[in-house]
Amino acid sequence: MANDAGMRAAVYRGVNDMRVERLPVPEFGAREVLVRIASCGVCGTDIKKIQYGLTPPPRVFGHEMAGTIAAVGAEVEGWSVGDRVVVMHHVPCMDCYYCAHRAFAQCPAYKKTGTTAGFEPAGGGFAEYIRVMDWIVERGMVRVPETVSLEEATFVEPVNTCLKAIYRADVRAGQSVAVFGQGQIGLLFTQLARWRKAEVFAVDPLEYRREMGRRMGASAAFAPQTADVAQEIRSRTQGRGADLAIIAVASNAVAAQALEAVRPGGKVLLFAQTRLGDPLQVDAGSVCMLEKDLIGSYSSDITLQDQAAELVFSRTLNVRDLITHRFPLEEIGEAIALAVSPRDHSLKIMVQL
């Protein structure tokens, strides 16, 4: 446990303003737990909040997090001090209209963040300790086996979000999937599509990321700045185009290229467009006359929590090789800057506490 000096936390104080400060260790209730964070991944959704000021400061962000239970409330059952856990920051109520329609991310209870390191709850993984509220303790913590590092375990949440998208797009054996973007999320999609026995075409402007896509199972990889991606894919799919294109990069300019790359009756899935008021120009004729579906997938699915954990814990998915850079909390600014502007063969950026 921390001493009276409190704990370290990276506090969002305004647009592109992150400061490492000392905060009180969070107090917790009888049905809550306190978790000592070991590792937290840098996620694009948090970066957008920091870059665009999408939520008012102050906040402590970070939600791809794993650690060790440091203290438990008097009424907590099934968990003990020392247990190694992945902590989700959202879980749905399972009882509303949206949950009945499996639209869990639209559930009002899901939108309520259940973990905090202080201030308005915002995840809290970029701090030494987090308070885990009762509904998360009940349904949003996953026990980590001793054979799995806590750093690897941080991938359970992002794998869940990608797995949800794979099922939402109904990826099946024998299909072809074009994954636009081969950063750490795109590489998870490449692996998951291969796990579903689909053929994968990787698209990324950076050579080292294209090479990683090939390593992770893509049958071919294309540079969008030099290749006619749609034509390259059609030449490998008997002239049709891909069954599905996944946009795993926060660039709306990719959408037109993705729509062109899929066959008539195919699908384009938006995954990285996580900011409202973000216009997208599309060829309406290709959606109507060519019956190409434009769909989206956002955040996690609680019914896939165990499967996502098993994919990580069994190492069916290779997440260890996605981690390229590790930063101490004091260098959170450098970690975010690297995630925003990739260099030095960067993929997944981890903050270690």
Is 3 a residue whose pLDDT tops 60?
no
How far is residue 146's CA from residue 159's CA, in Å, rounded to a whole number? 20
H-assigned helices in the chain: 44-52, 97-100, 134-139, 150-153, 156-168, 184-195, 207-215, 229-235, 254-261, 284-288, 305-313, 332-340
How far is residue 157's CA from residue 86's CA, in Å, rounded to a whole number? 8
pLDDT of amino acid 2: 45
Is 171 a residue whose pLDDT tops 80?
yes
- 219-225 average pLDDT score: 97
- 310-326 average pLDDT score: 98
Q: Where are the domains of the chain?
A: 7-157+301-352, 170-296
- 131-152 average pLDDT score: 98
Strands 141-143 and 84-87, bridge-based pairing: antiparallel
Tell which CATH architecture fits domain 170-296.
3-Layer(aba) Sandwich (3.40)
pLDDT of amino acid 4: 63
pTM for this entry:
0.96
Is it true that domain 7-157+301-352 has CATH number 3.90.180.10? yes
The model's pLDDT over 242-289, given as tens digits with 9 standing for 90+, comes to: 999 999 998 898 999 999 999 999 999 999 998 889 999 999 999 999
pLDDT of amino acid 200: 98
